[in-house]
Amino acid sequence: MEILLEVKKGSIESLSIRKGILDFEEKLKTIPGAMTGDCFPLKHTFVPGMYIREITMPAGSLLTSKIHKIEHPYFILRGDVSVLTEKGIVRLKTGFSGITPAGTKRLLYCHEETVWVTVHRTDNTDLKLIEEEVIAKNFDELYNVIEVTDFVKELNNAESNHVSEVAVQESIM
């Protein structure tokens, strides 16, 4: 991985980059003949508890990704691609692997034909249901998901702490 520009998470610059990616995506939709959505070849593979998505993007492609709700691994099987996120710009090549954090939206430029694979933990095999599970329609939806997830984690921590306190109190008696 070659880091071309690094930006501090949560900074004014990172929010400007997010807005720039969203603005670019909106402008792209207005260009006659521009391809949007899932317009490149996709391969879908399912194994128990997992969905594997492979996309092949042609050299010279300029595109945006969707907004990812859930952290997951990704792999560059073949190619050379520059990627802009709120963290900055990186250049990824064949053999690279990484983790996509929740809340990621990317702008990609493919220097070569690039095969990008993502792996998602799910029991669903219906692509529409999987997309609803792992992709946010907008950043507002993402924040609602994160807030609920954080709330559930806090509840679970409170319950386990309470159980521990009860256990300690009972063992003292």
- Going by DSSP bridges, is the β-strand pair 62-64/50-57 parallel, antiparallel, or unpaired? unpaired
Mean pLDDT of the region 122-151:
79
Residues 34-60, mean pLDDT to the nearest whole number: 90
What would the mean pLDDT of 106-127 be, rounded to a whole number?
Answer: 95
Q: Please give the pLDDT value at position 163.
A: 44
The residues spanned by each domain of the chain are 2-137, 139-173
Residue 152 pLDDT grade (very low, low, confident, very high; cuts 50, 70, 90): low
Of 3.40.50.11900, 3.40.50.720, 3.40.50.300, 2.60.120.10, the CATH number of 2-137 is: 2.60.120.10
Separation between Cα atoms, residue 72 and residue 130, nearest integer Å:
13
**Nearest CA among 3, 131, 23, 124 for reference residue 67:** 131
Arithmetic mean of pLDDT, 66-87: 93
DSSP line for 59-107: TT-EEE--EESS-EEEEEEE-EEEEEETTEEEEEETT-EEEE-TT---E
The residue to which tokens 């997951």 are assigned: 72
Mean of the per-residue pLDDT values for the chain? 81
Taking Cα atoms as reference points, which of 60, 102, 104, 54 lies closest to residue 81? 60
CA distances from 19 to 15, 73, 86 (A): 6, 25, 9
Sheet strands side by side (includes 72-78): 42-47, 50-57, 114-121, 72-78, 97-100
Residues belonging to the chain: 173
Locate 97 and state its tokens: 């692997």
Residue range 26-43, pLDDT digits in tens: 888 887 777 666 779 899
Q: For residue 5, what are the β-bridge partners?
A: 89
What's the pLDDT at 88? 83
Angle at 93 between CA 64 and CA 70, to 5 degrees: 45
pTM over cut 0.75: no
Residue type at position 74: Y
